[in-house]
């Protein structure tokens, strides 16, 4: 019987089977950031251990870093500074390559990895961050781990894992104009729910997925975790190989042909069996907007805020009521009537060059609505920022009254100074609309970069297709 893409990568990384359904799996790439690693490095020191293979690790500070230009003078918040300095010291002590805060290659770890070619097809990639699923866009098995597992990978270059089930989500057909990978991702989560992928690795397939750029595939796989799946995957094709070629960590010339030949095998066999299959029609997908406090609480922009009174399941109804109370929304409100206070364009979901281009295309020649207090654009890395500036995108944003910042996680999770105040409502290109995620009492609506840009201009949600 044929094998799935997940089977192929899993099989290639088994160090030892334990005979009880779990196995020791080799990890090719370990990405490290400042928030989930200090206790792991402490663990190594306490036990007198060293990293198993130093060169497998790549570190970058992203969660805590300020995004204002004055960061060149250091981090003002002493606790954030201590955490970033702890990463610097740990990497120096153990010899791990780190892109420090003011290195032009610094950025969000899930933007930096692929950009450097540190993420390659067929690899196992882990990081102490749930959005590591992003790297599955390259046909790599990539997933988030906790700090104890960070220490385990540092010490042993392996993890003890139980194999997940395989799900395939096919999105067939062609999406309409103005529909992005973010809308596909949100539509999938709306369809299967935030726990629909729990226990699975999801392979995204179908013509709409094949048509996505690598940036789009990263956005899609990034949000696999928001449907409960620890990892998302897309098969390798010409786009994957073209993206990787020439990047600093890509295979050297003498290995290139052999590497490409092996990557060409990274797709599910035609007769491979999946434990679950979901099919979506690309043509039915509209621009998506979340209305609640879980990514599955999502509707098309043309819809209204749902009414809990129509929900039969009491646990779900109570969840909807709590969400609406937190979000300050009445049932049946048209989505396009929801006014916003702030806009955030950034995060490991949507801060790559294609995202900034899509937002700039909407913003060009317009201005943000006067009541929108802040429209923040935070590029995913120093290299994305430089590319955007070379294309003049920063002028478009600045002329429209947006702020143009230094790279980092920023207001996706508000560990730095970028945050919502209580009650503020934000159109955000990030990945989580949980209570308090962007600042205590803040209200998050997840959208695509183009939809966020359109909301900034209109001052409320608007169907971006009317602005093209």
Sole window of 252-260, 339-347, 350-358, 447-455 interacting with other proteins (rule: CB under 8 A):
252-260
Q: How far apart are alpha carbons 241 and 388 in whole angstroms?
A: 23
221 is in an annotated binding site: no
Q: Which position among 1, 21, 73, 271 is part of the footprint of other proteins (CB under 8 A)?
A: 21
348 is in an annotated binding site: yes
Nearer to other proteins, 123 or 456 (CB): 123
Q: Which position among 3, 24, 336, 465 is part of the footprint of other proteins (CB under 8 A)?
A: 24
CB of 139 closer than 8 Å to CB of 240 = yes
Q: Which position among 107, 114, 206, 228 is part of the footprint of other proteins (CB under 8 A)?
A: 228
The 8-class DSSP code of residue 69 comes to G
Q: Is 206 in the site for other proteins (CB under 8 A)?
A: no
Nearer to other proteins, 111 or 301 (CB): 111
Sole window of 93-101, 173-181, 254-262, 372-380 interacting with other proteins (rule: CB under 8 A):
254-262
Residues numbered 37 to 76 that lie near other proteins (CB under 8 A) are 38-39, 42-43, 47, 49, 52-53, 55, 63-64
CB of 75 to other proteins, least distance (A): 11
| Number of Cβ atoms within 10 Å of the Cβ of 107 | 32
Q: Is 134 in the site for other proteins (CB under 8 A)?
A: no
Of 354, 346, 351, 348, nearest in space to 374 by CA: 346
**What secondary structure, in 3-state letters, does 159-212 show?**
EEEECCEEEEEEEECCCCCCCCHHHHHHHHHHHHCCCCCCCEEEEEECHHHHCC
Q: Is 33 in the site for other proteins (CB under 8 A)?
A: no
CB of 451 to other proteins, least distance (A): 22
Q: Which position among 207, 302, 440, 466 is part of the footprint of other proteins (CB under 8 A)?
A: 440
Residues numbered 351 to 410 that lie near other proteins (CB under 8 A) are none
Nearer to other proteins, 21 or 370 (CB): 21
Sole window of 150-158, 283-291, 400-408, 454-462 interacting with other proteins (rule: CB under 8 A):
150-158
CB of 377 closer than 8 Å to CB of 403 = yes
Q: Is 123 in the site for other proteins (CB under 8 A)?
A: yes
Q: Which position among 4, 80, 219, 430 is part of the footprint of other proteins (CB under 8 A)?
A: 80
Q: At which residue do the structure tokens 């560990």 appear?
A: 415
Backbone angles phi, psi at 329, to 5 degrees: -120, 145
Sole window of 97-105, 356-364, 413-421, 449-457 interacting with other proteins (rule: CB under 8 A):
413-421
Of 128, 154, 121, 126, nearest in space to 142 by CA: 126
CB of 253 to other proteins, least distance (A): 10
Q: How far is CA 92 from CA 4, 362, 468, in A?
A: 40, 44, 49
Listing DSSP states for 222-260 in one string gives HGGGGGT-SEEE----HHHHHHHTT-TTSPPHHHHHHHH
Q: Is 147 in the site for other proteins (CB under 8 A)?
A: yes
Q: How far apart are alpha carbons 468 and 456 in whole angstroms?
A: 15
Sole window of 316-324, 331-339, 343-351, 361-369 interacting with other proteins (rule: CB under 8 A):
316-324
Q: Is 222 in the site for other proteins (CB under 8 A)?
A: no
Q: Is 284 in the site for other proteins (CB under 8 A)?
A: no
Q: Is 307 in the site for other proteins (CB under 8 A)?
A: no
Q: Is 259 in the site for other proteins (CB under 8 A)?
A: yes
Listing DSSP states for 286-343 in one string gives --EEE-SSSTT-EEETTSB---GGG---HHHHHHHHHHHHHHT--TT-BGGG-B-SEE
Q: Is 82 in the site for other proteins (CB under 8 A)?
A: yes
| Number of Cβ atoms within 10 Å of the Cβ of 2 | 11
Nearer to other proteins, 117 or 459 (CB): 117
How many Cα atoms within 13 Å fall on the side-chain side of residue 212? 29
The token pair at 199 is 């226990």
Binding-site residues for [4Fe-4S] cluster, please? 348, 409, 412
């Amino acid at each position: 019987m044929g094998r799935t893409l997940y089977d192929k990568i899993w099989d290639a990384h088994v160090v030892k089977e334990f005979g009880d359904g779990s196995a020791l799996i080799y990890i090719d790439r370990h990405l490290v950031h400042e928030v989930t690693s200090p206790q792991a490095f402490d663990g190594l020191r306490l036990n007198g251990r060293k990293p198993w293979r130093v060169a497998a690790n790549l570190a970058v500070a992203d969660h805590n870093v300020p995004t204002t230009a004055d960061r060149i003078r250091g981090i003002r918040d002493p606790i954030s500074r201590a955490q970033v300095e702890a990463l610097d010291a740990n990497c120096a002590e153990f010899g791990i390559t780190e892109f420090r805060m003011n290195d032009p290659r610094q950025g969000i770890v899930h933007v930096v990895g692929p950009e450097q070619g540190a993420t390659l097809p067929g690899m196992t990639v882990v990081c102490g961050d749930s959005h590591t699923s992003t790297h599955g866009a390259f046909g790599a098995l990539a997933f988030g781990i906790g700090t104890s597992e960070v220490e385990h990978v540092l010490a042993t270059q392996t993890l003890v894992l139980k194999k997940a089930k395989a799900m395939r989500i096919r999105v067939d057909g062609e999406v309409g104009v103005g529909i992005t990978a973010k809308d596909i991702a949100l539509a999938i989560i709306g369809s299967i729910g935030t726990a629909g992928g729990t226990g699975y690795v999801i392979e995204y397939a179908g013509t709409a997925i094949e048509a996505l750029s690598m940036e789009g595939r990263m956005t899609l796989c990034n949000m696999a975790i928001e449907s409960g799946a620890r990892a998302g995957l897309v098969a390798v094709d010409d786009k994957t190989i073209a993206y990787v070629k020439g990047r600093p960590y890509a295979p050297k010339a003498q290995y290139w042909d052999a590497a490409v030949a092996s990557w060409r095998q990274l797709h599910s066999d035609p007769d491979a069996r999946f434990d679950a299959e979901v099919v979506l029609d690309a043509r039915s997908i509209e621009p998506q907007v979340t209305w609640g406090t879980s990514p599955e609480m999502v509707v098309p922009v043309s819809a209204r805020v749902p009414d809990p009174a129509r929900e039969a399941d009491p646990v779900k109804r109570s969840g909807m009521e709590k969400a609406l109370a937190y979000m300050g929304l009445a049932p049946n409100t048209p989505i396009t009537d929801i006014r916003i206070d702030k806009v955030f364009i950034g995060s490991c979901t949507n801060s790559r060059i294609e995202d900034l281009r899509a937002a700039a295309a909407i913003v060009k020649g317009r201005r943000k609505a006067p009541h929108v207090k802040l429209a923040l654009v935070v590029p995913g890395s120093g290299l994305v920022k430089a590319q955007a500036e070379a294309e003049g995108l920063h002028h478009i944003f600045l002329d429209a009254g947006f702020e143009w910042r230094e790279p980092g996680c920023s207001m996706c999770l508000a560990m730095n100074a970028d945050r919502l105040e209580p009650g503020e409502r934000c159109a955000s290109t990030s990945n989580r609309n949980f209570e308090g995620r962007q600042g205590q009492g803040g209200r998050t609506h997840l959208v695509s970069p183009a939809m966020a840009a359109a909301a900034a201009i209109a001052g409320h949600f608007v169907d971006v297709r009317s602005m093209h």
